[in-house]
Structure 1
Amino acid sequence: MRVVVVTTSYPEGDEDPSGHFVRSSARALTRGGAEVHVIAAGGSILDPPSQDGGLVVHRAGGGALFAWPGAAARAREAPHRLLSALPFAASVLARLREVGPVDRAVAHWILPCAWPLLLAGTRAPLEVRAHGADVRLLLRAPQAARAAVVGALLRRGARFVFAASALRDALARSLAPEQARALAGASHVEPPAIELPPVAERAASLRRELVESPGDRLAVVVCRLIPTKRVELAIEAARAAGAGLRLVVIGDGPERGALERLARRSDPAAGASRGAGGAGGAAVRFTGTLPRREALAWIGAADVLLHPSSHEAAPTVIREARALGVPVVACDAGDVNAWARDDRGILVAAGTVESFAAALQTIPPRRLEHVGPPLP
């Protein structure tokens, strides 16, 4: 069986923190013996295909728009980057011709990834995976445009896979009843696959370095530093939670400068340190973007992952934290509240400093021997 996967999110390498959920899903297809070709944003249409484990990766350009810290943030920063969407779609069509006939086609993101598959006239069964930003884009679009996109995919016989039930429900509510019923019948909910490299040894080392007293606790935030992630809520909550709590912010983005200034105001005596070196005794530490394995080690070393984001579907970082045995304090976004009903390690707090701080105070310090390998 030959499968083609079209996506705007795919890692440049093992340590690139972006798009691992797509690579994990594509790798899962190879376990049944399929030959899987991934057509991904980045690079150039002139680049030859490359091997990534059992996957054949074809780059299709579009990196001016489809790159860190996300298409929406990059377009806000420089609106002309939106023009990259058209050459990307054209390059995907060219790559599809190079790949040739396939037995199955998968689009990761409704927009823009499913559209080239429709334009190419691919006759193979089509699966469209919605992760969050694509659904939010459709919800902001005029109703007629939204109905046209969903209708075209339904007429093509596409099967929809939503990362979270909240996404499917929100999109269905925005459609006419007949189309909403058709969408429900042609869809199911399935969080993306995740794969975790071994990080226990590095996690234990980080914890020994940073947690000096048995009663001290380490909290981490891992995300793009953009407004919807609400990292300021985590900073203020960590300050309000009292002494003995250190916060590490892993990631970068346009909000970093403002967040560092907030951290200095929250703790003017200690301030906030830049870079990844030295604990320095600071209450809040910013590491910038780290290689994926290092970021996962920081999560594994922590007493708690803070996730105050207001716009989510099925947050991968929460699932990674729980796989590493780390408790999570999060806001109710996407399917987080539903997960919390089945997992006592996820605490859902209101989007206020007081609520987050109160939830933080219920998390006890972990013992070093509990920093271990991923749970099965």
Structure 2
Amino acid sequence: MTRTLVVSTSYPAFAGDPSGHFVASEVEAALARGEQVTLVIPAAESPREAALGLRLVELPANVAFGAPGVAARLMEPGQRLKRAVGLMRFLLGARRSITRLSRAEGPFDHAALHWLVPSAVPVFPRGSARRVELLVHGGDARLLARLPRPLARGVIHLAATRASLTELRTMSQAQLDGLARLADLSRFTRRRVAPCALSLGGVPSRQEARAALDVRGELLLVVGRLVASKRAHVALTAASALAALRPVRVVVIGDGPERARLEAAFPHVEFTGALPRDRCLTWLAAADGLLSASRDEGAPSVVREARQLGVPVVSCAAGDLMRWAEIDPGIVVVP
């Protein structure tokens, strides 16, 4: 039986929690293949239940991780020191736990490290797995791009030496190209683009979703963390211009430090706050369109979900969206 290690700083804390849902889908796929999975993640407020075949290693982190993102949580007034300490506790605890397990049981057959920073560097001890798969998402790709180039290059080269077989997996071609501009990627045994799996089981039909939510007219959604980089104000400005021409209901799903400012600027828009994943998908199934204005994306999960549900998307150019739009008429990319 293949022994697989998964390390992630984001994972659902409870049923319906959207945090790290794509990591959970990857874990479910590994379990379905018959792999024995050890999952190293930050502890939630309440202990999680482990599925059959899953060994959970939950480590204290003083709630440093979670929505709307570690950077925003670290900047929250009155919480900075506590969460900074929590971040360090998790990083050190994860490294010690992986070292202990690999020494006691031998190196893992496969390690899937979500977010190159910090899961690969500095958390993962070299040689703790025979094969390492580094999964780069949006947050770590943006962080590496903002670091001084010599530092970013050093981090990427360190990551490439985590095992004798080290694979670099990005969510988009744009991310892979961006990393290639920062460092020589030839040290990686393999490089590929493969977005994480998405699970959309149990989503109601459009008709059922609209009835459940009492949606009667045209519905446009903006979905995501309400942080500056997501540029929700751009999407809402466009939606407001459309609403001035015809009746349109505009709903924002998500929370974050930008929410109060957005609510004041767009009083006609409905803000639901963060919703359980199944509820969010119900809204998405009911929608006539999804608006996305972020330019810092690789393979946006919400766009992929919308298209799987047949919902049209209007988006700014980001990640691989231009490539997707070339083969999917349901995606319109605007400047």
Give your verdict on TM over 0.5.
Answer: yes
Give 2:50's aligned residue.
51
CA-CA distance at 1:259 after TM superposition: 0.6
Contact residue 220 and residue 305 of structure 1 kept, 8 A: yes
**Residue 318 of structure 1, aligned match among 284, 299, 303:** 303
Contact residue 224 and residue 251 of structure 1 kept, 8 A: yes
CA-CA distance at 1:106 after TM superposition: 1.1
Moved more, 64-73 or 199-208: 199-208
Contact residue 203 and residue 298 of structure 1 kept, 8 A: no
Is 1:287 equivalent to 2:272 in the alignment? yes
CA-CA distance at 1:118 after TM superposition: 3.8
User: Does the C-alpha gap of structure 1 residues 5 and 205 become closer, same or farther in structure 2, counting only changes over 3 Å?
Assistant: closer
**Residue 255 of structure 1, aligned match among 255, 258, 278:** 258
CA distance in 2: counterparts of 1:72 and 1:174, whole angstroms: 22
State the aligned residue count.
323
Moved more, 3-12 or 239-248: 239-248
* Partner amino acid, structure 1, of 2:154: A
Contact residue 213 and residue 283 of structure 2 kept, 8 A: no
CA-CA distance at 1:93 after TM superposition: 2.6
Give 2:72's aligned residue.
73
Give 2:89's aligned residue.
87
CA-CA distance at 1:251 after TM superposition: 0.8
Give 2:247's aligned residue.
244
Give 1:363's aligned residue.
none
* Partner amino acid, structure 2, of 1:342: I
Superposed CA RMSD: 2.2
User: Does the C-alpha gap of structure 1 residues 38 and 16 become closer, same or farther in structure 2, counting only changes over 3 Å?
Assistant: same
Contact residue 164 and residue 313 of structure 1 kept, 8 A: yes
CA distance in 1: counterparts of 2:310 and 2:52, whole angstroms: 28
Contact residue 227 and residue 255 of structure 1 kept, 8 A: yes
Give 2:110's aligned residue.
104
User: Does the C-alpha gap of structure 1 residues 204 and 155 become closer, same or farther in structure 2, counting only changes over 3 Å?
Assistant: same
Is 1:6 equivalent to 2:4 in the alignment? no
| Structure 2: gaps of 5 or more residues | none
User: Does the C-alpha gap of structure 1 residues 243 and 202 become closer, same or farther in structure 2, counting only changes over 3 Å?
Assistant: closer
Is 1:345 equivalent to 2:326 in the alignment? no
User: Does the C-alpha gap of structure 1 residues 117 and 227 become closer, same or farther in structure 2, counting only changes over 3 Å?
Assistant: closer
Give 1:40's aligned residue.
41
Give 1:64's aligned residue.
63
CA distance in 2: counterparts of 1:122 and 1:54, whole angstroms: 20
User: Does the C-alpha gap of structure 1 residues 205 and 163 become closer, same or farther in structure 2, counting only changes over 3 Å?
Assistant: closer
Contact residue 226 and residue 257 of structure 2 kept, 8 A: yes
CA distance in 1: counterparts of 2:212 and 2:123, whole angstroms: 50
Give 1:227's aligned residue.
228
Is 1:160 equivalent to 2:159 in the alignment? no
Contact residue 27 and residue 55 of structure 1 kept, 8 A: no
User: Does the C-alpha gap of structure 1 residues 127 and 32 become closer, same or farther in structure 2, counting only changes over 3 Å?
Assistant: same
Contact residue 203 and residue 278 of structure 2 kept, 8 A: yes
CA distance in 2: counterparts of 1:251 and 1:49, whole angstroms: 23
User: Does the C-alpha gap of structure 1 residues 161 and 68 become closer, same or farther in structure 2, counting only changes over 3 Å?
Assistant: same
| Structure 1: gaps of 5 or more residues | 265-271, 273-283, 351-376
Contact residue 173 and residue 180 of structure 1 kept, 8 A: no
CA distance in 2: counterparts of 1:333 and 1:309, whole angstroms: 7
Give 1:174's aligned residue.
182
Is 1:125 equivalent to 2:124 in the alignment? no
CA distance in 2: counterparts of 1:226 and 1:240, whole angstroms: 22
Aligned-pair identity in percent equals: 38
TM-score by length of 2: 0.89
TM-score by length of 1: 0.80
Offset from partner CA, 1:148-168 (integer Å, 9 cap, x none): 221122234421100111111
Contact residue 13 and residue 48 of structure 2 kept, 8 A: no
**Residue 196 of structure 2, aligned match among 184, 192, 195:** 192
User: Does the C-alpha gap of structure 1 residues 63 and 19 become closer, same or farther in structure 2, counting only changes over 3 Å?
Assistant: farther
Is 1:296 equivalent to 2:281 in the alignment? yes
CA distance in 1: counterparts of 2:274 and 2:121, whole angstroms: 32
* Partner amino acid, structure 2, of 1:75: L
CA distance in 1: counterparts of 2:231 and 2:56, whole angstroms: 34
CA-CA distance at 1:82 after TM superposition: 3.1
Contact residue 9 and residue 19 of structure 1 kept, 8 A: yes
User: Does the C-alpha gap of structure 1 residues 15 and 167 become closer, same or farther in structure 2, counting only changes over 3 Å?
Assistant: same
CA distance in 2: counterparts of 1:48 and 1:95, whole angstroms: 18
Contact residue 238 and residue 247 of structure 1 kept, 8 A: yes
